[in-house]
Amino acid sequence: MKLYEYESKIIFKKEGIPIPESYLASTPDEVEKIVENLKKEVAIKAQILATGRGKAGGISFAKNPKEAKQLARKIFSLKIKGFEVRKVLVEERLFPSAELFLGITYDLSQKTPVVISSSLGGIDINEIAKKYPEKVFTLPVNMVWGIQNYQGKLLAKNMGLKSKDMFKAAGIAVKLFNIFKKYDCDLAEINPLILTQDGKLIAADAHLELEQEALYRHKELEQLEIPIRKDSPRIPTKFEIEAEKIDKIDHRGVAGRVVEFDGNLGLLIGGGGASLTIFDAIRYHGGKPANYCEIGGNPTVKKVKELTKLILKKPGIKGLAVITNVLNNTRVDLVARGVILAMNELDIKPSEYPILFRSAGAYEEDGYRILKKYKIKYMDRSYSIDQAAKAAVEMISNLK
């Protein structure tokens, strides 16, 4: 779960990482009032869950309340990477003598947290790593031990800091790791960490991403007024929202993780790696999927039925491919029952509708008996996913 900057800063403040004096506002008028009280030059920063707001005009500096209100109005009217700006953070403006970088994430290859520091902050660290790899210092850290002071010192030294500043930055690194561990973060980043002209080290920006799987054990977020939610890299379509509702009918199995595409072949496909393989195979043979979806973990007949109905009703659908891997857990007969019930409820005759069924594994004999009875042609385990995908694509292109 990605946190907004202001939410990350709530945690920073609680855990003792210095942040600028900052206030949250939802209207230009509120911004004006805050600046009147603050009596300082300010930075106004759009609060969105995407990076690159600076380039998109989401950060402005104002000298007085009137200017602040004007600039805020502009920021509130922006749409950055599809996100509307609903809130801005108004902060005392910092005057940096250096902008630095400090971040923690997982190194999937070494299976351990890794801390990254750099003397070049304020821009995307991936760009820095590409252009000036020698300026990016990485340090794997043991989860049990955390960052020790000597490691903090090493990180700070590689930000180009000396004497007092070095010790301060080391302290911040230790605290940032504590946050990373305590809150089950996927990512904890300060970019930029600013060394001000009057010698303070302050986290100008804050970016935390909490691991979805661990949110259940973070009840403290509620007290910090950080609502738990799901990230969506793009706004879900109506079709996708409907599918998600279907998946929530009950807790058994998955039938409803769906992504909409604009093709003509409806897909009901096996979950996990199989869904990836099947979707690829359909595209490889020139098919145009109307959706990606996953069924797995032995879902109930009802879920399969509702999902099938949703797909069959989608405008532009010309046929349906039900393709799964050789199933370990999900039952072939339950999938078959769901698909046929859906067609029945929609008054579609299974024997006359373009449908391709390829499945095998648990309870395949029962499944095949059902399919036979309703005159649906099926492929068993002697046909590969590849052959099934090809046949499904041909089925659509042969339609008149």
Partner 1 sequence: MSILIDEKIRVLVQGITGREAALFTKYMLDYSTNVVGGVTPGKGGQTIHGIPVFDCVSDVVKEFGANTSIISVPAAFAKDAALEAIDSNIELIVIFTERIPKKDVVLILDFAEQKGTKVIGPNSLGIISPGKSKVGAIGGPQIETKKSYMIGPVGIASTSGGMTTELANLLTSNEIGQSTCISVGGDPIVGMTFRELLPLFEKDIQTKTIVLFCEPGGTQEEDAARYIIEYSYSKPVIAFIGGRFVDDMPGMRFGHAGVIVQKGKGTAKGKIEAFKRAGILVADTLTQLVDYVKESLS
Partner 2 sequence: MVKIMGMFVKVEINNSKCKKVKNCKICEEVCPVEIFKFENLEENNEIISVIEENEDECIFCNLCLEKCLQKAITIKKLY
Binding site for partner 1 (CB under 8 A): 106, 108-109, 111-113, 126, 142-144, 181, 184, 186, 211, 213-214, 216-217, 233-234, 259, 270-277, 279-281, 283-284, 292, 294, 296, 325-329, 360-362, 364, 381-382, 384-387
CB of 66 to partner 1, least distance (A): 39
Nearer to partner 2, 246 or 370 (CB): 370
Contact between 373 and partner 2 per CB under 8 A: yes
Which of partner 1, partner 2, none is residue 387 near (CB under 5 to 8 Å by kind)?
Answer: partner 1
Nearer to partner 2, 59 or 341 (CB): 341
Nearer to partner 1, 29 or 231 (CB): 231
Nearer to partner 2, 323 or 334 (CB): 334
Three-state SS across the chain?
A: CECCHHHHHHHHHHHCCCCCCEEEECCHHHHHHHHHHHCCCEEEEECCCCCCCCCCCCEEEECCHHHHHHHHHHHHCCEECCEECCCEEEEECCCEEEEEEEEEEEECCCCEEEEEEECCCCCCHHHHHHHCHHHEEEEECCCCCCCCHHHHHHHHHCCCCCHHHHHHHHHHHHHHHHHHHHCCEEEEEEEEEEEECCCCEEECCCEEEECHHHHHHCCHHHHCCCCCCCCCCCCCCHHHHHHHHHHCCCCCCEEEEEEECCCCEEEEEECCHHHHHHHHHHHHCCCCECEEEEEECCCCHHHHHHHHHHHHCCCCCCEEEEEEEEECCCCHHHHHHHHHHHHHHCCCCCCCCCEEEEEEECCHHHHHHHHHHCCCCEECCCCCHHHHHHHHHHHHHCCC
How many residues sit close enough to partner 2 to count as binding (CB under 8 A)?
Answer: 15
Nearer to partner 1, 148 or 277 (CB): 277
Nearer to partner 1, 152 or 263 (CB): 263
Contact 294, 270 (CB under 8 A): yes
Which of partner 1, partner 2, none is residue 302 near (CB under 5 to 8 Å by kind)?
Answer: partner 2
CB of 350 to partner 2, least distance (A): 11
CB of 51 to partner 1, least distance (A): 9
With contacts defined by CB under 8 A, name the span among 41-49, 129-137, 181-189, 367-375 that binds partner 2: 367-375
Site for partner 2 in 319-338 (CB under 8 A): 331, 334, 337
CB of 272 to partner 1, least distance (A): 5
CB of 360 to partner 2, least distance (A): 18
Which of partner 1, partner 2, none is residue 213 near (CB under 5 to 8 Å by kind)?
Answer: partner 1
List residues near partner 2 by CB under 8 A: 300-302, 331, 334, 337, 340-341, 344-345, 347, 366, 369-370, 373
